[in-house]
Amino acid sequence: MVIFNKIHLTAITLLFFGTILNILPFSEALVSKTPPILLLILIYLSLAFPNQINLTYAFISGLIMDILMITPLGYNALCYTITIYLILLYYPQIRLQSNWNKMFSLLIILMPYFFISTVVNSMLNIEYNILDVCISVFISILIWPGLFGMLRFIRQKYTS
Protein backbone atom coordinates (compact mmCIF):
# COMPACT_ATOMS: atom_id res chain seq x y z
CA MET A 1 0.00 0.00 0.00
CA VAL A 2 2.86 2.35 0.93
CA ILE A 3 4.68 1.48 -2.32
CA PHE A 4 1.44 2.00 -4.25
CA ASN A 5 1.15 5.52 -2.85
CA LYS A 6 4.85 6.21 -3.42
CA ILE A 7 4.50 5.28 -7.08
CA HIS A 8 1.56 7.60 -7.64
CA LEU A 9 3.16 10.43 -5.68
CA THR A 10 6.41 10.15 -7.65
CA ALA A 11 4.51 9.89 -10.94
CA ILE A 12 2.39 12.97 -10.20
CA THR A 13 5.47 14.98 -9.18
CA LEU A 14 7.35 13.92 -12.32
CA LEU A 15 4.35 14.68 -14.52
CA PHE A 16 4.02 18.11 -12.93
CA PHE A 17 7.66 18.87 -13.76
CA GLY A 18 7.08 17.43 -17.24
CA THR A 19 4.14 19.80 -17.72
CA ILE A 20 6.27 22.77 -16.68
CA LEU A 21 9.10 21.66 -19.01
CA ASN A 22 6.61 21.26 -21.86
CA ILE A 23 5.48 24.88 -21.59
CA LEU A 24 8.91 26.39 -20.84
CA PRO A 25 9.42 29.34 -23.15
CA PHE A 26 11.90 28.88 -25.99
CA SER A 27 12.98 31.14 -28.79
CA GLU A 28 10.73 31.38 -31.84
CA ALA A 29 13.07 29.18 -33.89
CA LEU A 30 13.01 26.36 -31.36
CA VAL A 31 9.41 26.48 -30.22
CA SER A 32 7.97 24.14 -32.85
CA LYS A 33 10.89 21.72 -32.59
CA THR A 34 10.76 21.03 -28.86
CA PRO A 35 10.25 17.39 -27.91
CA PRO A 36 7.05 16.38 -26.08
CA ILE A 37 8.77 15.98 -22.71
CA LEU A 38 5.58 15.22 -20.80
CA LEU A 39 4.80 12.38 -23.20
CA LEU A 40 8.35 11.03 -22.86
CA ILE A 41 7.97 11.01 -19.06
CA LEU A 42 4.59 9.28 -19.42
CA ILE A 43 6.19 6.66 -21.69
CA TYR A 44 8.90 5.98 -19.11
CA LEU A 45 6.39 5.74 -16.26
CA SER A 46 4.10 3.39 -18.15
CA LEU A 47 7.12 1.22 -19.03
CA ALA A 48 8.14 1.11 -15.38
CA PHE A 49 4.67 0.80 -13.82
CA PRO A 50 2.28 -0.43 -16.53
CA ASN A 51 -0.35 -1.51 -13.98
CA GLN A 52 -0.47 1.81 -12.16
CA ILE A 53 0.43 4.48 -14.72
CA ASN A 54 -1.58 3.82 -17.81
CA LEU A 55 -4.31 5.27 -19.99
CA THR A 56 -6.05 7.31 -17.25
CA TYR A 57 -2.85 9.21 -16.54
CA ALA A 58 -2.24 9.71 -20.27
CA PHE A 59 -5.77 10.99 -20.90
CA ILE A 60 -5.79 13.40 -17.93
CA SER A 61 -2.26 14.68 -18.72
CA GLY A 62 -3.38 15.27 -22.32
CA LEU A 63 -6.43 17.24 -21.21
CA ILE A 64 -4.27 19.39 -18.89
CA MET A 65 -1.87 20.10 -21.76
CA ASP A 66 -4.80 21.04 -24.01
CA ILE A 67 -5.94 23.62 -21.49
CA LEU A 68 -2.44 24.99 -20.88
CA MET A 69 -1.32 25.09 -24.52
CA ILE A 70 -4.59 26.53 -25.87
CA THR A 71 -5.26 23.67 -28.23
CA PRO A 72 -8.75 22.20 -28.83
CA LEU A 73 -9.76 19.96 -25.92
CA GLY A 74 -9.03 16.33 -26.72
CA TYR A 75 -6.10 17.00 -29.08
CA ASN A 76 -3.25 15.99 -26.77
CA ALA A 77 -5.52 13.62 -24.81
CA LEU A 78 -6.14 11.58 -27.97
CA CYS A 79 -2.46 11.52 -28.99
CA TYR A 80 -1.20 10.63 -25.50
CA THR A 81 -3.82 7.90 -24.97
CA ILE A 82 -2.93 6.11 -28.21
CA THR A 83 0.82 6.34 -27.56
CA ILE A 84 0.53 4.93 -24.05
CA TYR A 85 -1.75 2.17 -25.34
CA LEU A 86 1.04 1.12 -27.70
CA ILE A 87 3.46 1.10 -24.76
CA LEU A 88 1.08 -1.11 -22.77
CA LEU A 89 0.89 -3.52 -25.70
CA TYR A 90 4.64 -3.87 -26.11
CA TYR A 91 6.19 -3.02 -22.74
CA PRO A 92 7.47 -6.56 -21.97
CA GLN A 93 9.51 -6.55 -25.20
CA ILE A 94 10.70 -2.91 -24.86
CA ARG A 95 11.89 -3.41 -21.27
CA LEU A 96 14.30 -6.16 -22.36
CA GLN A 97 15.85 -4.11 -25.16
CA SER A 98 19.23 -2.40 -25.06
CA ASN A 99 19.37 1.41 -24.94
CA TRP A 100 19.97 1.65 -28.71
CA ASN A 101 17.04 -0.61 -29.44
CA LYS A 102 14.90 1.39 -27.04
CA MET A 103 15.68 4.52 -29.08
CA PHE A 104 14.50 2.72 -32.20
CA SER A 105 11.35 1.49 -30.43
CA LEU A 106 10.66 5.03 -29.28
CA LEU A 107 10.90 6.20 -32.88
CA ILE A 108 8.27 3.64 -33.89
CA ILE A 109 6.04 4.47 -30.92
CA LEU A 110 6.26 8.23 -31.48
CA MET A 111 5.37 7.88 -35.16
CA PRO A 112 1.63 7.32 -34.55
CA TYR A 113 1.67 10.26 -32.10
CA PHE A 114 3.01 12.63 -34.73
CA PHE A 115 0.86 11.04 -37.43
CA ILE A 116 -2.30 11.57 -35.35
CA SER A 117 -1.32 15.13 -34.45
CA THR A 118 -0.73 15.81 -38.17
CA VAL A 119 -4.15 14.38 -39.08
CA VAL A 120 -5.87 16.40 -36.32
CA ASN A 121 -3.96 19.54 -37.41
CA SER A 122 -5.21 19.06 -40.96
CA MET A 123 -8.78 18.39 -39.78
CA LEU A 124 -8.82 21.53 -37.63
CA ASN A 125 -7.02 23.62 -40.29
CA ILE A 126 -4.08 24.26 -37.96
CA GLU A 127 -0.94 25.29 -39.87
CA TYR A 128 2.06 23.07 -39.20
CA ASN A 129 5.48 22.36 -40.61
CA ILE A 130 6.26 18.70 -41.25
CA LEU A 131 10.03 19.35 -41.04
CA ASP A 132 9.64 20.77 -37.53
CA VAL A 133 7.69 17.64 -36.58
CA CYS A 134 10.51 15.41 -37.86
CA ILE A 135 13.13 17.46 -35.97
CA SER A 136 11.01 17.15 -32.82
CA VAL A 137 10.95 13.33 -33.19
CA PHE A 138 14.70 13.29 -33.79
CA ILE A 139 15.41 15.41 -30.68
CA SER A 140 13.07 13.19 -28.61
CA ILE A 141 15.07 10.13 -29.63
CA LEU A 142 18.38 11.86 -28.93
CA ILE A 143 17.43 12.92 -25.41
CA TRP A 144 15.73 9.61 -24.58
CA PRO A 145 18.78 7.72 -23.15
CA GLY A 146 19.65 10.63 -20.82
CA LEU A 147 16.05 11.15 -19.76
CA PHE A 148 15.60 7.41 -19.27
CA GLY A 149 18.66 7.22 -17.01
CA MET A 150 17.58 10.22 -14.98
CA LEU A 151 14.01 8.96 -14.54
CA ARG A 152 15.26 5.49 -13.59
CA PHE A 153 17.50 7.04 -10.94
CA ILE A 154 14.54 9.01 -9.51
CA ARG A 155 12.29 5.94 -9.61
CA GLN A 156 14.82 3.77 -7.79
CA LYS A 157 15.41 6.44 -5.17
CA TYR A 158 11.80 7.34 -4.41
CA THR A 159 9.68 4.28 -5.11
CA SER A 160 11.68 1.41 -3.68
Partner 1 sequence: MKNNLHFRQSHIISIKLILFLVISISFLLIDKNLELSNKIRNNSSYLIKPIYSTAEAPLKIFNKLSIYIDSMQDLIKKNKILEKKVFIQSGIIQKIPLLKEENKRLRKLLNSSESMADSKIIIAELIKVNLSPFSNKIVIDKGEKNNLSLGQTVIDSLGLIGQVSEVNKDFSIVTLITDPGHALLAVNTRTEKRVMVSGTGDNRYLKAEYVSLNEDVIEGDILITSGLDNIFPEGYLIGVISKINKKINKDFMEVDVRPSSSLSTNQEVMILW
Question: Which residues contribute to the site for partner 1 (CB under 8 A)?
Answer: 19-20, 22-26, 28, 31-32, 34, 51, 54-56, 58-59, 62, 66-75, 77-78, 81-82, 85, 88, 120-121, 123-128, 132
Q: Write the DSSP symbol of residue 128.
A: -
**Terminal alpha carbon distance of the chain:** 12
CA 26 to chain centre: 19
The nearest distance, CB 102 to partner 1, in angstroms, is 22
The nearest distance, CB 16 to partner 1, in angstroms, is 9
The nearer residue to partner 1, 80 or 148, going by C-beta atoms, is 80
Compute the C-alpha angle 128/106/75, nearest 5°: 40
CA dihedral angle for residue 70, residue 72, residue 73, residue 74, rounded to 10 degrees: -120
The nearer residue to partner 1, 82 or 103, going by C-beta atoms, is 82
Write down how long the chain is: 160
The nearest distance, CB 13 to partner 1, in angstroms, is 13
